[in-house]
Amino acid sequence: DQQVKQNSPSLSVQEGRISILNCDYTNSMFDYFLWYKKYPAEGPTFLISISSIKDKNEDGRFTVFLNKSAKHLSLHIVPSQPGDSAVYFCAASAGGTSYGKLTFGQGTILTVHP
């Protein structure tokens, strides 16, 4: 039972354009969501997070949107840069003592072309 799904295995974007990565979840108990970026042979690096009390969070070029009714979140990268090429994972956790138990999606490979 995959509770967090990233349905697009890959995404290709031109430099300077917007990248939109999507993530769906099924567990209504999830209330904290994170995006991580992973380069080959490295561990995941934290990008941005959002709590279920918000529907948007921005940090520089990165914005995460949360639609609780649709159980959907998305990561927008504007403008995209070649250095953004990596695997992007969304992750979710439920509240209380379960905050540490992250459930990850399977990842989306983003390629930004110069």
Partner 1 sequence: EAGVAQSPRYKIIEKRQSVAFWCNPISGHATLYWYQQILGQGPKLLIQFQNNGVVDDSQLPKDRFSAERLKGVDSTLKIQPAKLEDSAVYLCASSLRGAGVPETQYFGPGTRLLVL
Interaction with partner 1 in 43-102: which residues (CB under 8 A)? 43-46, 49, 51, 89, 91, 93, 95-102
Q: Provide the minimum distance between the beta carbon of 46 and partner 1 in the complex, in angstroms, as a whole number.
A: 5
Between 60 and 114, name the residue whose CB sits nearer to partner 1: 60
Q: Provide the minimum distance between the beta carbon of 43 and partner 1 in the complex, in angstroms, as a whole number.
A: 3
The pair phi, psi for residue 84, each rounded to 5°, is -80, -10
Interaction with partner 1 in 27-46: which residues (CB under 8 A)? 31-32, 34, 36, 41-46
Where do contacts with partner 1 occur on this chain (CB under 8 A)?
Answer: 4, 31-32, 34, 36, 41-46, 49, 51, 89, 91, 93, 95-107
